[in-house]
Amino acid sequence: MTYQSVNPFDNKLVKSFAEITDQQLEQKLVTATACFAQWKQTSFAHRAKIISRAAVLLGEQAEHFAQIMTMEMGKRISEARGEVAFSAQILAYYAEHAERFLAPVKLHPTAGEAHMESSPIGVIFGVEPWNFPYYQLARVAGPHLMAGNTLVIKHAGCVPQCAIAFEKLFLDAGAPEGLYTNLLISHDQSDQVIADPRINGVALTGSVAAGRSLAARAGRNLKPSSMELGGSDAFIVLEDADLDHTVKWAVWGRMYNDGQTCCAAKRFIVVDQIADAFLAKFQAALGALKAGDPKDETTTLGPLSTESALVDLLRQVDTAVSHGARIVMGGKRIDRPGAFMHPTILSEVAPGNPAFRDEFFGPVAMFFRVKDENEAIALANDSDFGLGGSVFTRDTARGKRVASRIDTGMMFINNISWSDAELPFGGIKDSGYGRELGDMGIQEFVNKKLVRTLVAEAPV
């Protein structure tokens, strides 16, 4: 069974859901296509009324949505509530600003008049991950529905109740049938959807392997796509950093969502002058985290999303150690029911070690010593990924100079505040392409049409 709610706190099966049939899938695509024909003609004000209502309902029912998330993928309840609130903010943000973002842009040709206008392109297929079950949905739904497109979404198999709840949210908000459609489909059916001529764009957040596969299939069918993939973000600590401030961000940056975040801090690159002090404080702070029920607000360490995620992560650590890495702390599962792992620090990860290139999607940090700023920058850039990164220094101007030299889509100075509704999110290299959120996020799946007026004789 592909779609199952299994509580990672105790690994008990809660509920299973059957995949839809090919006939049911066909009917959903017919409905989404028919909805687009009407929705694209509606005003921004009409669209905003529905999307704003969805944001309000999400806020009013925040506890209900948060509890489902915590049960299905183990997110600590305080973080789950925060994600629901942020998802509501994203929907409200695009309801308010979409018309301005997509307003015609006047151009200035040498002769005549011209402008660019934006219009929706059709039904967009989204494939979304489990680690942020609502936020990932909100950041495609908010912009692309407000742009006039309709959405069909394949969510991750371990969060089916989150997926169903989010679809119901739009129906409760007054959305027409077919505006936002959840698809409980197989991978083979997913391939069929991408190839279907009624699908006009593909948006994925997922692994590098999934990105390569879906982007290739979208390309073969000449469909635009956006890919938000993995990351192995550098956390650079220069010798003049405020150590207490830095360590607090280091713990949050590595352990938020139990480390299951694409843009989490994963490679801690510390100038040698301050490395011992940083490592001692970092290790002590991670060691103080206490595993427990993610529904208990006093719990500071939740489970991973699934048992298989835990097993895969432990295998990665064992491979790293077999290739010469040293375990500073952790490295094992916690001896208790559920998918729990000790916070882990690996050091002495050499370039030939598979871990040097890998992404650890969980509570595993890699620690590197460097002699100076230039060596830190070189190591940060020696990665197949290019999503985000951060630099910590008391000299903000220095931080900006370092940030400009790092090859990523995002950099943060003395913080790791990854997402705001108004700021673009995305990466380069194996971290994908395209941007979500902000003004840029709504531009991914719209037609940019040039309209020119010119009074002149036709050329002979």
Strand order in the sheet with 113-120: 105-107, 113-120, 446-453
Q: Which residues are marked as active site?
A: 228, 262
C-beta separation of 282 from 251 below 8 A: yes
Contact (CB, 8 A) for 355 and 256: no
- Which of 345, 319, 204 lies closest to 266, judged by CA? 345
Q: Are 232 and 342 in contact (CB under 8 A)?
A: no
Tokens of 273: 């002058």
